[in-house]
Amino acid sequence: MTQTWAVLAAVLFLMIHLIGGSAYSTVNVEAGHEAVLNCPSVSKLSWLMVTWKMKSSTSCFLAYRWDLNETRMLNCSERMMWNYSPDRYPALRIYPVNLNDEGNYTCEIVSREGNFLFIFSLTVIVPPTLTLTSDKNRVAVCQATAGKPAAKISWIPASNHSVEKDIHHLNGTVTRISYISWVNSTHPTVTCLVTHPAVNQTLSLDLSYDSSRLQYLLIGLAVASGAGVTLYLILRCRASRLRKKAHRWPVKAGTENFRFTPSHMNTPVMDHSVSPEKIYQNYKPQAILMSY
């Protein structure tokens, strides 16, 4: 009698779970963490076999037969295993979880009283990478890269002038980008609030600092450009002066003692008053100086 009541209580417990809607459960797990899918305990029933069927990117079959104490595994990743001893606690453990594990998992218990199904929907959450930048026009850009699901972005102080853009990736993740102009704002600091199931974070950026730094950079570039132009003009002026001086300097023609005369005076004039003897009487070859 006691055993009959125990069986009836267990069956009633399973029926309540099935009717109450808990036979279908949703499990959210962050990528890289551990996922444990708990099939309800039916130890008080005379069950014969428990099986797990995974319909994710690859179909996996994991089973345990109680009367033979035998375990079977077909087309399952080594990351999938029994959480504890299947004869006591037939829960499925997946570690570490990745995006390929997302899908529906079915736990089926076979007993003399009937078959019982429990369905789990596994959703893998991927935290996004967060960045907050600005450009020279004081447009702030808040970006949540490769998150699943897509992150929600808001601004502090709140503004109705933000623009959002989503980029969908092949692996199911989403990059969300939000733009907001801060030109007419009296607040020097812009704050981006990112809300996501895996992370809630605020990022702040001092736009006044960025603006002053940009101004200093522009001033430095202007000064450097002015100095370069000035140096170029000085060198060009000096080069022009050197060219003018080069045109004014006389050209040395091999000897400095020659004197040029007009072409009509090139005819040599002979002085007949001087005899050849007087011309050559002081002639000394070793005293001749050659000019080059």
The helix (H) or strand (E) run that includes residue 71 is strand 70-74
Q: What are phi and psi of 64, to 5 degrees?
A: -135, 130
Residue 93 sits in the same domain as residue 180: no
Q: Are residues 53 and 159 in the same domain?
A: no
pTM of the model: 0.61
* Mean per-residue pLDDT, 206-223: 57
Which SS3 state, helix, strand or coil, does residue 274 take?
coil
Residue 285 lies in a domain: no
Domain final residue pick, 168, 184, 205: 205
Number of domains in the chain: 2
Residue 112: other Cβ atoms inside 10 A:
9
- Residues 112, 155 share a domain: no
pLDDT at residue 146 is higher than 70: yes
pLDDT digits (tens, 9 = 90+) for 257-278: 444 445 545 545 555 555 555 5
Confidence of residue 2 (pLDDT cuts 50, 70, 90): very low
Q: What is the mean pLDDT of residues 229-249?
A: 70
Note the pLDDT of residue 21: 38
Sign of the torsion angle spanned by Cα atoms 95, 96, 101, 102 = positive
Query: In angstroms, rounded to a whole number, what is the distance separating the alpha carbons of residues 249 and 159?
Result: 77
116 and 147 both lie in a single domain: no
Q: Are residues 115 and 142 in the same domain?
A: no
Q: In the numeric block, which tokens belong to residue 290?
A: 């050659």
| Most confidently modeled range among 67-76, 88-97, 117-126, 237-246 | 117-126
Residue 171 belongs to domain with CATH number? 2.60.40.10
The residue that leads in pLDDT, 184 or 125, is: 125
Range of the domain at 53: 2-125
Model confidence pLDDT, tens digit, residues 41-99: 655 557 789 999 987 656 789 999 988 889 999 988 889 999 888 877 889 999 999 99
Which of 79, 107, 125 is the last residue before a domain boundary? 125
pLDDT of residue 45: 58
Q: Is residue 230 part of a domain?
A: no
If phi > 0 it is left, if psi is from -120 to 50 it is alpha, else beta; for residue 113 that is alpha
Cβ of 192: how many Cβ atoms within 10 Å?
Answer: 24
Look at residue 135 and tell me whether its pLDDT is greater than 90: no
Residue type, 276: P
Name the residue with higher pLDDT: 220 or 92. 92
Instruction: Tell me the average pLDDT across 192-199.
Output: 95
